[in-house]
Amino acid sequence: MARIQRRPPARGVEWEFETLVLPKEFSRNVVTRMLVERAEHGGWELDRLRIGNDGKRRVVLRRKIIRQRLTLFAG
């Protein structure tokens, strides 16, 4: 299950966060491939990974929010 949230900007950078909860049945190789795929094609980077007592992996990914600025041309 994925959950995306946005946090307020810190020092001029805005981040978008996605939280994944992966079951313990997923092998380390499967999880690695999933995270690499998201990094290469979605621009996500690993922010936090925690393995709970129940074996579930809680992964927090982040990526920068790039805002386009309106440019006005003086003519």
Residue-level pLDDT, tens digit, the chain, 75 residues: 666 666 655 567 788 999 999 999 999 999 999 999 999 999 999 999 999 999 999 999 999 988 777 777 765
The model scores a pTM over 0.85: no
Q: Which of 57, 54, 10, 8 is nearest to 32 (CA)?
A: 57
State the Cα–Cα distance between residues 27 and 15, nearest whole angstrom. 29
Q: Where are the alpha helices (DSSP H) in 1-75?
A: 28-42
5 has which bridge partners?
Answer: 17
